[in-house]
Amino acid sequence: MQTRALGQDLQVSAVGLGCMGMSFSYGEKQDRGAMVQVLRSAVEAGVSFFDTAEVYGPFVNEELVGEALEPFRGRVTIATKFGFKLDPTGQKTWTGLDSSPARIRQVVEASLKRLRVERIGLLYQHRVDPAVPIEEVAGAVKELIAAGKVERFGLSEPGASTIRRAHAVQPLTAVQSEYSLWWRKPEQDGVLATLEELGVGLVPYSPLGRGFLTGTIDAKTKLSAGDFRANLPRFAPAAISANQVVVDLLRSVGDHFGATPAQVALAWLLSRRPWIVPIPGTTKLSRVKENLGAIALRLPAADLEALDAAARALPIEGGRYPEHLEALTGI
């Protein structure tokens, strides 16, 4: 399995696995035993980088990942996140942000138990908390690293200034932000350039547009009850129809190279920088293997440039989040 470096010292599989959908957000309840098997089979297929968070569930996704990956300690890196104010009973998802140092320490102790590890491989702040200076957040994580409970620090969806301020206190290993052929804000807001300058890796979440770029969603698709995508502007019926042109573009490239739309979308991302490690999510081992196939898909430079130019020219309809959620990003 080809690996990539994040930050100064983290070597992981070139494509990781986002675990959220195995127990959260997409409506359909997954069989826990089946998801354990998918996670373990993913390790055997070469995946060594897994992403979860306490808010996924809440709590149950970390428990699932901890159970599944316990036999592979030392072979895999698990990333998890803090930053939301949660009901301790797990009956509600989140009621606001909380990155106070006391809360960070509390989350780490609980996550260590759920993940069944002695140290958290990569700990992200899930969203920047305007009420807590990022220097305090970085300082709290720095203390946890010194205490041997956390190995590395990251941020999710921060702005460039926040990245610099946090990195000055505790060097960052990675930033996790949405980035794909149809969401290119990290190129436009200075985040990508800042990461390159500081030597910080980028971990794109939703690299397949929450499933849209796989080509399996169209205007006839019925989202399950409880599927959070039903509340996203880009998954409104009119937007789904209008944005099929993006999938058509990926499919046309894929047909030429014997690849699926998902593989083309991931290969494009991997070509952007050598320190980018996407984490597509899935509940199916066949999709894990399909996504890993993107690593070997080396599109010629001319084709990548043509794909890039064509994608830029396409009008994308609908925002990725409702306004109240988008307001939590890029701070």
Domain CATH number, residue 309 = 3.20.20.100
**pLDDT one-digit tens code per residue, 106-118:** 999 999 999 999 9
pLDDT at residue number 27 = 77
Q: Which of 135, 131, 138, 134 is nearest to 153 (CA)?
A: 138
**pLDDT one-digit tens code per residue, 213-228:** 999 999 889 888 889 9
152 falls within a domain: yes
Q: Quick one: average pLDDT of 11-17?
A: 98
Q: Which of 26, 56, 124, 179 is catalytic?
A: 56
Q: In whole angstroms, what is the distance from residue 151 CA to residue 69 CA?
A: 17
60 falls within a domain: yes
pLDDT band with cut points at 50, 70 and 90 for residue 25 = confident
pLDDT at residue number 89 = 78
65 falls within a domain: yes
Q: In whole angstroms, what is the distance from residue 106 CA to residue 219 CA?
A: 44
Average pLDDT, the chain: 96
**pLDDT one-digit tens code per residue, 1-13:** 899 999 999 999 9
Indicate if 124 belongs to the active site: no
196 falls within a domain: yes
**pLDDT at 306 > cutoff 80:** yes
**pLDDT one-digit tens code per residue, 62-71:** 999 999 999 9
pLDDT band with cut points at 50, 70 and 90 for residue 244 = very high
Beta strands in 30-181 (DSSP E): 49-51, 77-82, 122-125, 153-156, 172-178
**pLDDT one-digit tens code per residue, 114-135:** 999 999 999 999 999 999 999 9
Domain count, the chain: 1
331 falls within a domain: no
**pLDDT one-digit tens code per residue, 158-206:** 999 999 999 999 999 999 999 999 999 999 999 999 999 999 999 999 9
136 falls within a domain: yes
pLDDT at residue number 165 = 98
Domain that holds residue 246: 3-326
| CA-CA-CA-CA dihedral for 93, 96, 100, 101, to nearest 10 | 10
- Sign of the C-alpha dihedral computed for residues 239, 243, 244 and 250 taken in this order: negative
24 falls within a domain: yes
133, 182, 251, 260, 286 from 247: Cα distances, Å: 41, 10, 6, 10, 20
Please give the structure tokens belonging to residue 218. 């169209």
pLDDT at residue number 224 = 84
Strand partners, 79: 51, 122
**pLDDT at 271 > cutoff 90:** yes
39 falls within a domain: yes
Are the C-beta atoms of residues 206 and 178 closer than 8 Å to each other?
yes
